[in-house]
């Protein structure tokens, strides 16, 4: 039996549903290719997130037929599943990156035993590199407009004209943010290529040094707050847990559910929308700006930091034997 790979959300693939209530023509034709391959007995590998509308269409057109599907994340509760469809859930990006970083314990000693708040001069550490997407861009533009990241270390790509069309902040601000500038985590405007961004050996050193100065890591995951995707956490949450830095998590409901199923909890509770995330970060900033409160907050995170670190050590076996 052969396997066919279908990548749904990369730039080279047809655009996925943007909430218009129906699939586009190119998108439907692309899904039809996957349906026909499934009917021929081939294993279908959806090697990226799948939209609820896409999954419903695939289910409706394969219902009752024996076959195999591989997914990058579990099917959320309430989505239809056929008993004759054999589903295997993979999370290769997290697994591969986790195996790599766990070999670097000696190179990057754990920072979470006891943290001195007086040595921390940055509120948050946040990475947003590539690829671009309008969900993360919306959040970043709000955080920048409200100056939430004014005393933080963060990276962000430039915004191209096509992406900006999808960044609608009218419900928050009456004026669009058209002054978006590239930043890298090293604090320069040099545009770092993908060979750097996707090479943990190069990025980990910069992140490790930044983490030593930072009160809290803000994990901005892909497609945050898009609850219409079968969200799975990416490798982005691994870094603060591995290094022992308190973190907050900005992601979809399904991503949050999977994190909990793996045994992870952020150091301040999950939030479900942009406004509550901004309020959360502003609240934490007020704590970090008070030396006594900042130290008390860091001291209170020790047990959870260690719990999350133990969960990280167990995660390779958990993903391998029970991916969801």
* Order of strands, sheet of 85-89, starting from the edge strand that comes earlier in the sequence: 3-6, 43-46, 67-71, 85-89
pLDDT at 48 over 90: no
**SS3 call for 283:** helix
CA atoms within 13 A on the CB side of 61: 17
Residue of 28, 213, 190 whose CA lies nearest to 120: 213
Give the pLDDT score at 321: 76
**SS3 call for 197:** helix
| Token duo for residue 225 | 């707050």
Residues in the chain: 324
Which residues are paired to 217 by β-bridges? 125, 247
Question: Are the C-beta atoms of residues 224 and 83 closer than 8 Å to each other?
Answer: no
* Burial category of 38 from C-beta neighbours within 10 Å (exposed 0-12, middle 13-18, buried 19 and up): buried
Question: Are the C-beta atoms of residues 231 and 73 closer than 8 Å to each other?
Answer: yes
115 contacts: CB under 8 Å, gap ≥ 6: 298
User: pLDDT for 75-120, tens place per residue?
Assistant: 998 999 999 999 998 888 888 889 999 999 999 999 998 899 999 9
pLDDT at 311 over 80: yes
pLDDT at 202 over 90: no
The residue with tokens 């199923």 is: 261
Give the pLDDT score at 11: 41
Tell me how far apart the alpha carbons of residues 265 and 246 are, in angstroms, rounded to a whole number. Answer: 10
CA dihedral 313, 319, 320, 324 (to 10 degrees): 150
- Domain ranges for the chain: 3-90, 94-318
Tell me how far apart the alpha carbons of residues 211 and 75 are, in angstroms, rounded to a whole number. Answer: 34
First-residue to last-residue Cα distance in the chain: 25
Residue of 226, 14, 208 whose CA lies nearest to 101: 208
Q: Which residue has the higher pLDDT, 53 or 181?
A: 53
Give the pLDDT score at 14: 44
Is cis: bond before 254, omega within 30 of 0? Answer: no
DSSP 116-153: -GGG--EEEEE---SS--HHHHHHHHHHHHTTTTTTSE
State the chain's mean pLDDT as an integer.
Answer: 86
| Token duo for residue 41 | 């007995």
Which residues are paired to 51 by β-bridges? 229
Tell me how far apart the alpha carbons of residues 77 and 80 are, in angstroms, rounded to a whole number. Answer: 8
pLDDT at 55 over 60: yes
CATH 1.20.1050 fits 94-318, yes or no: no
pLDDT at 121 over 50: yes
User: pLDDT for 254-304, tens place per residue?
Assistant: 999 999 999 999 999 999 999 999 999 999 999 999 999 999 999 999 999
**SS3 call for 276:** helix
């Amino acid at each position: 039996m052969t396997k066919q790979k279908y990548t749904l959300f990369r730039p080279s693939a047809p655009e996925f549903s943007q909430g218009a209530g129906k699939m586009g023509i190119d998108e439907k034709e692309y899904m039809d290719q996957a349906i026909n391959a499934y009917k021929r007995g081939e294993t279908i590998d959806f090697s990226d997130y799948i939209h609820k509308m896409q999954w419903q269409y695939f289910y409706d057109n394969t219902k009752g037929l024996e076959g195999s599907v591989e997914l990058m994340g579990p099917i959320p509760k309430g989505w239809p599943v056929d008993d004759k469809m054999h589903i295997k859930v993979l999370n290769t990006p997290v697994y591969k990156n986790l195996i790599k970083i766990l070999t670097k314990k000696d190179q990057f000693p754990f920072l979470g035993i006891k943290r001195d708040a007086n040595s921390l001069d940055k509120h948050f550490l946040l990475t947003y590199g590539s690829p671009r997407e309008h969900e993360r861009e919306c959040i970043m533009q709000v955080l920048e407009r409200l100056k939430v990241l004014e005393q933080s270390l963060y990276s962000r790509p430039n915004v191209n004209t096509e992406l900006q069309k999808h960044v609608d902040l009218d419900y928050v601000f009456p004026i669009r943010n058209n002054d978006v500038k590239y930043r890298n985590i090293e604090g320069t405007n040099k545009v770092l290529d993908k060979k750097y961004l996707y090479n943990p050996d190069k990025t980990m050193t910069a992140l490790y040094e930044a983490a030593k100065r930072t009160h809290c890591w803000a994990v901005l995951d892909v497609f945050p707050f898009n609850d219409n995707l079968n969200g799975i956490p990416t490798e982005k949450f691994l870094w603060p847990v591995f290094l022992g830095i308190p973190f907050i998590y900005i992601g979809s409901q399904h991503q949050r559910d999977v994190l909990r199923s793996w045994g992870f909890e952020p150091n301040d509770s999950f939030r479900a929308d942009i406004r509550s995330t901004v309020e959360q970060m502003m609240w934490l900033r007020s704590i970090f700006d008070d030396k006594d409160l900042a130290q008390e907050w860091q001291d209170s995170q020790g047990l959870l930091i260690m719990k999350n670190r133990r969960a990280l050590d167990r995660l390779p076996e958990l993903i391998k034997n029970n991916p969801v």
